Structure 1
Amino acid sequence: MKELLTAVRELRAHDVPEVLAGMDREERRAALAELKALRKEVRGWHWDKQDRVRRALLVAGAGCHTGAAGCASWIGGRDLAGWNRRPFPLVLAALADRDPKWLGDVAHRLAARPATAQTMYELISGLVKKARCPVPTTDGFVLGWAEAISMAQWHRRKKRPLVEVLRSDPYAPALLPRLFEVPELPSQMLWPDDANDPCQWATTLAALPGEGLLERSALVDGCATRLLRGGKLSELRFFLGLLRKLELTEQEETERLADWIGMAADGASTVAGHAQGVLTRLDGRGELTVRALADVSASVLFRTEKKLVRSQLVLLGKVLRRDPSAADELLPVVAGAFEHEDIDIQERALKLVARYLPAAGTPVREELALSAALLGPAHRTMVAEVFGGPAAGTPGRQEYEELLPPVPDPQLLDPAPATLPELVEEVVTLIRSATPDVTAFERALDGLVRHAHSDRSALTDALRDALAGEWWLENEPPSQTERQLRSDAEIRLVVATLLGRVSARAVQEERASWTGTGTCVHAALNGILRARLWEAADAVLSGSTPFLLAVPTWHTGSLDPAVLVERLRACQRLGVRPGEADFAQALLRVRRGDQHGAAEAAALLGTPEGDRLAAWLRADEPLARVHRFDLEKRGREGQTVVRSSRALMASQERSFIQEEFPRSFHWLGRPQVPAHRQCYHWDDHPNQWTATLPEDAETLAAWLLPNIATGVIEEIQDTLGPLVLLTELDASAGEAVHLMVAYALGARHPEDRLSAVDALLMLATRQQLDAVLLGEQLADLLGNGLIKPSRLADSARTAAATGAYRTVLSTLTGALPGLLAREKAPRGLGDLLSVAAECVEHCGAMGGGEPIPGLAETAARGGSSQLVRQAVRLKAAWEQDSDRA
């Protein structure tokens, strides 16, 4: 036993199996108790030493366990999983003398654990071979098997065809069918498939029925099931490609009619397109009933993909041409396309209904007339021609009313928790929350300072009990915990200081040395937060500070100047000097603009802080003035020198900040000019950033704009976090905020475009939207290729659909002239014209009816392209509304 423990402590993992071979059952059981104690001791070691001892500890513990359950639990322990390759061959050597049945039990227990089944495939496979037991078929083991085969093929550089590997693999018959049932395939299976390469998975699986390794029906059913289930696009492409390689027979297609209907209705675009093609073939063979066609069409016509909807209308037209008697069943389904967002599809559906309306019965005609009456003004003439009656006499556009979201009321922030249990509950929630709320953070921080001032001992005891089990409170050596927490920017830093996990010396060192300077706005704002946290940590240690000044009054982070004056008066009465970072943050949060009364009251205090507050309110200046700055960049595309320009903003120097504020705030007062160098903080703490500068949305937008622009141009998802927060602030929105919205409206990802639409509508509802400015900026971005018209059209259509037609139209009229003037129309311009036309049909023309420059010339080009048709539509709607006016 002593020799075993020595080998483990000396990190000699390779010697452990040999030592174990000389130990009997009782000696191993005794050694196991010592190994468990050592395992617990290792958790407190430095991470580097921990990692080196894990290998020997894992092998020794596995060999000393006599029960299969205990052995599997030991091997699967998360704390024994090192960074380096695990010593599975040594574990197998340590277990070489065990009974095969026992080894099989361990293998199946490991395979049943999701945390180990895939990552420990090599070990489980080795145990199965030694035990000669049935192979496990759990999801994790199947994934591990497929991954191991793929990687082996990669390292062999594909010298041996994959089909031969599977033919000789003893696990293949049991595991191949399970590939269609696991939640996700290994990424290695999804690597691009070359039809001429016999080592790729899709090609190989398609050939397996001929090898007798997998039944063809299992392959076809497996593919259909996965395509119906949905999932990642890469996996859907894999199974769709495999299905196509199988080249289904007519009988196989007919047997799976319900599957094709389900895929066409709910599948991803590529899957639905394939299913639609199969349904077309089934109809051509007379194997698709009218009832089944109606059912699937009712779903497909409500899809957003225009290509799918157009194809379905074509199929419906073929069936109606062949069998006009199906009009009663199919035409009401066709009318569902009247609700599609694309006017071209609406027109196609209306023409199809008009062509076969005579074959429909009276009840169906009445139903279709009601549906057609809901079509927009662009179709009124045709609706009148088809149905006659009331549609022909439809009155002109009624008085339009813009629909915007309600103006959000500022929500008053509750005071800090008054009782100790309330405070402890909030602090624990904040510490254990993945995305802590900024208002809860401010209340809890103030509460910690207040309760530490009144009864620090009770606060410490309550927090220690409530936070038992936190990693930074237990197991870790104090010096290591302190080192990790020193870079923290969360309330945990203050709590850890209060509980003795961060020393008073560290607090003083950080307060004295921390400057908060950074190379970007994110580092600067995070630095301000850290400076406040270190100052609060010092306050809870000394207990000399009764409360914090910078706690916001409203949920946006803004602070009422009258409230700040009262807090300063209370400090004067108590003889307390506020913290520098706390007071500086209060100044940045205090409401400015027509605050003469608060300025006079602050000056009457007769304290340095009162005088500074009075001067700050009287100056009523933005934190920094901003101006447009186009960042030029030169590069090469082959032999061609390419110049690009990115529209950004720069800020001017504010010397007052550098003279009167603490060092951690000085970045805010320096002149800032965008550079080609980019940081990648993205959305670390967007709520904290806006709450730090709630009165300076324009300045903050200018500083955050480079990352927003980069996220949109490089098509990076989830980089628009600060956008909606900025537009919700009760502060003026100028060129920087509008430019940020302009970029965001052209984002690639739909979720980001929804955020942009929310921001646009928020500016409009707060009467901060300058539509002319936004239109000019959009034209600029479109002209420089920084955003795409098709994406802008999608955002504009979404915003208009909420009822904000005039807001959208006033923005588009500024962006369209530049696009219409181009010799070659950019892709997606027709969609933009379509949205503009829809807006005019709802809310009327803008600018006193003056035509949009370039629109008449585009409409006169002739032809039937989407661009020309929408230009004609917009021109007609504009002129009609102008004539009516």
Structure 2
Amino acid sequence: MTAWDDVRKRIEAKAADDVAAIVAGLPEEDRRAVATELPGHLKRTLARARWFDEYVPAFRAAGAGTIGGAAGVATWLNRRQFTMRRTVHQDTDRLLRVLRARPADWLADLAGRLTLRLSLPGLSGLDLALALLRETGVTPPDHDPLVIGWARDGGPRADDPLLPHLLPRLFEVDGVGPALEGPSWARSGPHRARQLKRFADEGRVDRRTLLDRCVSRFLRGGDARELRFFTTLHAELEAADPAARRAETVARARDYLRLLPAAPVPVAELALRLLRELDDPDVPDPLDLTEALDALLFRPEAGLVGKGLSWLAETVERHPALADECAPALAQTFAHDSPAVRRRAVSLALKLPVTDPTPLREATGLLPFDLGQKIAARFGGEPTHPDPAPPPLTPDAAPRLTAATWARPVDVARPLGADEAVDLIEETARGQARVDRLLEGLLHLARTDRDGLRAALARGTRPDGLGHLIGCSTWPHPYAWLTAIANVLAGTRAVPSEPLARLPRPDGTSPLHLLVLHRCAELLPPLGRGVLPPVLLATPTEPTGHLDPLTLVERLERYEAAALEPGAADLQQALLRLPAAVPAEAVRRAEALTSAAARTVAGWLAREGPPRPRIGMRRLGDEAHVRLRAPATGLPLIDAIFNGSASAGDGHEHDPGLAAWDVESWSSLLPSHPDTVAAHLLPHLRSFRATIADLATASVGGPFAKVLAWDLVALLNRGDRSARETLTYLAARGELPTALLGRALARRARNGDVRMSRLLRVLEDLAEAGGYQAVWETVAAALPDLLPAPDERAAASHAPLLGLALRTARWCEARAEIPELAALASRKGNSDVLQEARALNEYLTGPRPTPADHVP
């Protein structure tokens, strides 16, 4: 057996360790023979192997031990076939055993070649390259991926022979910072920074050199993620003794000053902290200091600019002669995005001992009107006019609520075609219920185009028609009933046995949903007997779902002429769609009819519909429990709707036959009874079968205003699109319960249920869209409960909330006295919250400012 036969056999067995043992002891002639055969065998194995990855370690070991030149071995180990599926090979120890038989200079050559082949992001081959560099002691080539790989591989270690070569390069290569930080879950950065600090304490590296390298790395630039490790390392390396730290800061002061204008916030804060520690004799050239302040105060970060303003105040207090030099830097903060920064800048400007106020005077127009007045009164200048209010939001500009799209008029003037009817039935299965339109359209097709309906059903997406539904004991969704009706009318199926028994139990679904199912179910028995109703009583005549009383009477006259009685559910649905106002002629014509249905309608019209149910509601935490009570009418489906209870814990909340599109159509079932619809919607708000828009469309007042406000706050906090549309819709119509909404916002914020920053963005968007009156009323109602009590600290979120309140109050020209706001404004201190509170309280209780009030 030849050496190649032996090696090939071990490769086929995927025995990489055996391959390594064989090739390590082969004479030169056999090595060349094996190396010659390897490429062809690799190609054949790739063609037939299902899982080639299992062969890779054996092929790598064979090539590493037999290929003659270092360049050839480097190329072999980095073949695309070996690296396209795996980026990290677990065979470094095996390859080292094979390679150690080679001469030292050959190994050094291979180490350099493997290093230069390293590439990001995977750094395949890193382990072997690092191992060879350490074993040979060769100076690593200047290759950035090697430095990043070394940082990922654990970073600097005391016993690592690569430390002297690669440590300086950590501060020169982009991408090293995140590698030293490691993944977020590992938190490796602080540990590695402390490790380098320990090396400095032990004398392995020079501490000051490391500090200088950190500063140089800051000056090279990079984002906060890239520089985070180096800011941690710099903080670890700073001298503990204040005097020594100040001395080191003086030596690097000009570099720290250069970091202030544009470095990432953590780096700029580090430099600012050190510079502010300097004593008077140590302050660099005042001109450099004022230039640094100018750059620092131009930054967009409010927190950093606030610290810069404090530094400016300290500088001017120590060096009053620098006031004029600092005035231009201070003036540019008048245009800062943060209201708190602007207020603080104005407060500082009024105390500044300037001799030349020109920069401050010229910047007056950058400030809001109230702040501009203060600067103009001291230094002159022309303040801006108050921010003009955006155009008020009107109902025409508000979004149409999602729920309203389902209340579409029934197009009875244009009968449905057969294909269109079948398509609409399939849409019902996917989420677009059009029950009224389909019932009317299917009956019309039965009279005019039975053959077309039969052909359309055969072409439909469910060729078995009703077959897949027959085995279901309950049909909880209109799709099943509409499919059955279509098949019976087309003559492709008989009426299922006992169809009414397939209705859900009354306690298993909402009575409104049951009403829809009953209307479908009651058609099947007469259709089985060949009786077609002349018309359906309950088909609405208005987009809202209302039914014209005279139209209803005309339909009853057609039934009486045909000597037929309408279905009980169809009759009860028709009664629920009648408007409150009934023409006298409709009553007179109904009373002239003799059928039982006509007598029921005449009595209903005479007393203007059912008695309004009494609705009682109470809340237990987040859950609303509602109870409806009304005198019995003798009509079971109607009595079930107007009597009973509804809460988020009801069993039919999880009814599988009830989908969101069914719930969205409920407003059109009882268009004259919005409070009753709202009561039945409540259980489904928690399951998201109903949206807040459905509740708003059904009823925005009465006992459900509190529920609407409470749930609206929660859904706005979640970013619910329907909630945002509802907020804008109600604000545009003047129907938003702002007082209740404000109190709900305050309570839920105090409970920690919502994040104020999210709600603020929603309110700000509404105000900018023109709904500022509603926003002001909401925030004003929230402030008494939301502002901190005398023994509480203000939250950071209070400042932007008060800023929004001031802006909308100006646009509304509001006036109010809020004791809690006045108490907060009277506190000592100069925080952003207190400044915003004082500004709002001053506006609400003071004289109304006008553009002519300023001092020229």
Cα gap change, 1:339 to 1:122, in 2 (>3 Å)? same
**Aligned to 1:839, what secondary structure does the other structure show?**
helix
Question: Could you tell me which residue of structure 1 aligns to residue 807 of structure 2?
Answer: 839
Question: Could you tell me which residue of structure 2 aligns to residue 201 of structure 1?
Answer: 195
Following superposition, the deviation at residue 359 of structure 1 comes to 0.1
Write the mapping of 1:128-147 to structure 2, written as runs, cut at 5 A.
128-129=133-134, 133-147=138-152
One of 37, 42, 50 as aligned partner of 2:44: 37
Question: Could you tell me which residue of structure 2 aligns to residue 369 of structure 1?
Answer: 361
Corresponding position: 1:265 with 2:231: no
Question: Could you tell me which residue of structure 2 aligns to residue 8 of structure 1?
Answer: 11
How many Å separate the matches in 2 of 1:582 and 1:657? 18
Question: Could you tell me which residue of structure 2 aligns to residue 78 of structure 1?
Answer: 83
Q: Deviations over 1:62-102 (max 9, x none)?
A: 4455513431323883346388x712111223334445555
Question: Could you tell me which residue of structure 2 aligns to residue 876 of structure 1?
Answer: 842
Larger Rg: 2
Question: Could you tell me which residue of structure 1 aligns to residue 213 of structure 2?
Answer: 221
Identity rate, percent: 22
How many Å separate the matches in 2 of 1:788 and 1:399? 27
- Partner AA of 2:377 in structure 1: E
Q: Deviations over 1:122-170 (max 9, x none)?
A: 31133335655432453433344344456xxxxxxxxxxx8xx52x432
How many Å separate the matches in 2 of 1:353 and 1:16? 81
- Partner AA of 2:261 in structure 1: A
Q: TM-score, normalised by structure 1?
A: 0.56
Cα gap change, 1:653 to 1:843, in 2 (>3 Å)? same
How many Å separate the matches in 1 of 2:208 and 2:717? 46
**Aligned to 1:200, what secondary structure does the other structure show?**
helix
Cα gap change, 1:824 to 1:599, in 2 (>3 Å)? farther
How many Å separate the matches in 2 of 1:346 and 1:815? 25
Cα gap change, 1:396 to 1:278, in 2 (>3 Å)? closer
Cα gap change, 1:219 to 1:138, in 2 (>3 Å)? farther
Corresponding position: 1:178 with 2:181: no
One of 213, 232, 242 as aligned partner of 1:238: 232
8 Å contact kept, 1:173–1:214:
no
How many Å separate the matches in 1 of 2:747 and 2:849? 32
Following superposition, the deviation at residue 831 of structure 1 comes to 1.4
Following superposition, the deviation at residue 206 of structure 1 comes to 3.8
Cα gap change, 1:339 to 1:99, in 2 (>3 Å)? same
Cα gap change, 1:601 to 1:336, in 2 (>3 Å)? farther
8 Å contact kept, 1:264–1:275:
yes
How many Å separate the matches in 2 of 1:11 and 1:704? 56
How many Å separate the matches in 2 of 1:40 and 1:143? 36
How many Å separate the matches in 2 of 1:259 and 1:853? 51
Cα gap change, 1:318 to 1:118, in 2 (>3 Å)? same
Question: Could you tell me which residue of structure 1 aligns to residue 728 of structure 2?
Answer: 764
Question: Could you tell me which residue of structure 2 aligns to residue 489 of structure 1?
Answer: none
Q: Deviations over 1:830-866 (max 9, x none)?
A: 41553244224531356xx554474345456677666
Q: Deviations over 1:228-264 (max 9, x none)?
A: 4233275254233245259876675456455423432
**Aligned to 1:266, what secondary structure does the other structure show?**
coil
How many Å separate the matches in 1 of 2:395 and 2:206? 58
How many Å separate the matches in 1 of 2:267 and 2:844? 41
- Partner AA of 1:816 in structure 2: L
How many Å separate the matches in 2 of 1:807 and 1:141? 61
Question: Could you tell me which residue of structure 1 aligns to residue 32 of structure 2?
Answer: 25
Following superposition, the deviation at residue 883 of structure 1 comes to 11
Q: TM-score, normalised by structure 2?
A: 0.58
Cα gap change, 1:372 to 1:770, in 2 (>3 Å)? same
Following superposition, the deviation at residue 177 of structure 1 comes to 0.8
Q: Deviations over 1:490-548 (max 9, x none)?
A: xxxxxxxxxxxxxxxxxxxxxxxxxxxxxxxxxxxxxxxxxxxxxxxxxxxxxxxxxxx
8 Å contact kept, 2:11–2:59:
yes
One of 90, 93, 96 as aligned partner of 2:94: 90
- Partner AA of 1:15 in structure 2: D
When structure 1 is superposed on structure 2, of 785-794 and 772-781 the one drifting more is 785-794
Cα gap change, 1:58 to 1:277, in 2 (>3 Å)? same
Q: Deviations over 1:747-797 (max 9, x none)?
A: 9xxxxxxx7999859953796794636534422321212345577667767
How many Å separate the matches in 1 of 2:189 and 2:653? 61
8 Å contact kept, 2:410–2:436:
no
Following superposition, the deviation at residue 175 of structure 1 comes to 0.5
8 Å contact kept, 2:364–2:381:
no
8 Å contact kept, 2:746–2:782:
yes
Write the mapping of 1:416-455 to structure 2, written as runs, cut at 5 A.
none
Following superposition, the deviation at residue 25 of structure 1 comes to 1.0
**Aligned to 1:369, what secondary structure does the other structure show?**
helix
How many Å separate the matches in 1 of 2:63 and 2:349? 76
8 Å contact kept, 2:750–2:786:
yes
Following superposition, the deviation at residue 176 of structure 1 comes to 0.4
Cα gap change, 1:581 to 1:141, in 2 (>3 Å)? farther
Question: Could you tell me which residue of structure 2 aligns to residue 828 of structure 1?
Answer: 796
Write the mapping of 1:594-613 to structure 2, written as runs, cut at 5 A.
604-605=444-445, 612=482
8 Å contact kept, 2:328–2:360:
yes
Higher relative contact order (CA 8 A, sep 6+): 2
Cα gap change, 1:404 to 1:134, in 2 (>3 Å)? farther
How many Å separate the matches in 2 of 1:806 and 1:311? 36
Question: Could you tell me which residue of structure 1 aligns to residue 577 of structure 2?
Answer: none
Question: Could you tell me which residue of structure 1 aligns to residue 780 of structure 2?
Answer: 813
8 Å contact kept, 2:259–2:268:
yes
8 Å contact kept, 2:390–2:770:
no
When structure 1 is superposed on structure 2, of 74-83 and 132-141 the one drifting more is 74-83
8 Å contact kept, 1:147–1:188:
yes
How many Å separate the matches in 1 of 2:263 and 2:95? 46
**Aligned to 1:333, what secondary structure does the other structure show?**
helix
Matched pairs, number: 625
Q: Deviations over 1:795-833 (max 9, x none)?
A: 767876888754543442343232237563552364155
Write the mapping of 1:839-858 to structure 2, written as runs, cut at 5 A.
839-844=807-812, 849=815, 851-852=817-818, 854-858=820-824
Question: Could you tell me which residue of structure 1 aligns to residue 569 of structure 2?
Answer: none
8 Å contact kept, 2:653–2:683:
no
How many Å separate the matches in 2 of 1:557 and 1:72? 65
8 Å contact kept, 2:712–2:723:
yes
Write the mapping of 1:306-705 to structure 2, written as runs, cut at 5 A.
306-321=302-317, 323-324=319-320, 326-356=322-352, 359-360=355-356, 365=358, 367-379=359-371, 382-387=374-379, 401=391, 569=417, 571=419, 584-585=429-430, 587-588=431-432, 604-605=444-445, 612=482, 653=652, 658=657, 702-703=686-687
Structural RMSD (CA): 5.7
8 Å contact kept, 2:14–2:58:
yes
Corresponding position: 1:122 with 2:118: no
Corresponding position: 1:293 with 2:289: yes
- Partner AA of 1:355 in structure 2: K
8 Å contact kept, 2:193–2:229:
no
8 Å contact kept, 2:776–2:809:
no
Cα gap change, 1:737 to 1:134, in 2 (>3 Å)? farther
Question: Could you tell me which residue of structure 2 aligns to residue 108 of structure 1?
Answer: 112
- Partner AA of 2:39 in structure 1: L
Q: Deviations over 1:326-368 (max 9, x none)?
A: 44442122112223355453333223333346500xxx52x53
Residue segments in structure 2 that go unaligned for 5+ positions in a row = 447-452, 461-478, 487-515, 518-537, 546-617, 624-646, 664-680, 701-705, 851-856
